[in-house]
Amino acid sequence: MIYPYLILAEFLSLAVQQYIPALPFGARVLLLPVVFFYAALAVPPPGMLLLAFTGGFMWDAFIATQTVNGNLEISLGWSIVVYAALGAIMNGFRPLFQRGHGWEIHCLLSGPLLCIFVLSEYLMITFRRGGFIFPKLIWWRIGGEGLAAMIAAPIIFLVLHWLALSLGILAPREEREAAQDRM
């Protein structure tokens, strides 16, 4: 059963990313979304939705949901929906993952998908706080985070994939390929 292992990976990545210093322009290395993107690639759609729920919930509970003067700026659950939407895109490439092309897909898509996620957060803030402020810095920050995600993605992929195969919670490539052919 791969799910407890991936939920634990999401939880640990949320804690670890707190200790990674900021990059230029205030960009951050966001590990939890990159771990989720791996999960979205590795599991079938219902599992992806489960992990979008756990990952998005952790993100909202710890980072995105702020109560200001008794009102919620972003509701608990909002990130879950965005995670699910982005996870669905990643999940569409699962047949390639089954055929052993995982890390390239994960690396190439993690950047743009993370950019969309961070931009959606900013748009939500802009909508709630008012003032349509879009200096160049915003784009540098979003782009920087996407780039950082693309650099971190292969490392995260290799670590998680190696662990999953070593612990026997992910079937070897041949079995996955055969299962894909049967579908």
Partner 1 sequence: MRQINAIAVAIFLVVVLVLFAFTPRNTQIMQARFLGLIAPLLKNGSSIQKQVIGLREGMKKLTELDTENKQLRVELNELRAKDQTLQGLEAENNQLRRALQFRERSQFRLVPARIIARDASTWWSTINVDKGSNDGVEPDQPVLTEDGLVGKTTIVSANACTILLISDENCGIAATVEGTRERGVVRGTRTSTQATPDLTLGLLSKMANLKPGMKVFSSGLGGVFPTGVLIGEVKNFEVLPLEGQATVVPAVDLSTIEDVFIVTGGTK
Q: Which C-beta is closer to partner 1: that of 61 or that of 163?
A: 61
| Contacts (Cβ under 8 Å, ≥6 apart) of 178 | none
Smallest Cα–Cα separation from 139: which of 32, 63, 25?
25
- Helix, strand, or coil (residue 12): helix
State which residue, 76 or 155, has the beta carbon closest to partner 1. 76
Tokens 């780039």 locate to 147
Task: Please identify which residue in 2, 55, 90, 145 interacts with partner 1, judged by CB under 8 A.
Answer: 145
Q: Are the beta carbons of 98 and 177 closer than 8 angstroms?
A: yes
Q: Which is nearer to partner 1, 72 or 165 (CB)?
A: 72
Site track 39-78 with partner 1 (rule: CB under 8 A), x = hit: ------xx--xx-xx---xx--xxxxxxxx-xxxx-xxxx
Question: Which residues, 6 or more positions from 11, have their beta carbon under 8 angstroms from its beta carbon?
Answer: 58
Ordered alpha helix ranges (H), the chain: 3-16, 31-42, 45-59, 78-91, 94-98, 102-129, 136-166, 173-182
Residues 82 to 111 in contact with partner 1, rule: CB under 8 A = 84
Q: CB-wise, 20 or 165, nearer to partner 1? A: 20
Which CB contacts under 8 angstroms, 24+ apart, belong to 13-20?
13/156, 14/58, 14/59, 14/62
**Residues of span 11-40 touching partner 1 by CB under 8 A:** 11-12, 14-20, 22, 24-28, 30
Q: Cβ of residue 77: shortest distance to partner 1, in angstroms? A: 3
CB of 55 to partner 1, least distance (A): 13
Q: Which residues bind partner 1 (CB under 8 A)?
A: 11-12, 14-20, 22, 24-28, 30, 45-46, 49-50, 52-53, 57-58, 61-68, 70-73, 75-78, 80-81, 84, 118, 121-122, 125, 129, 131, 133, 135, 137-138, 141-142, 145
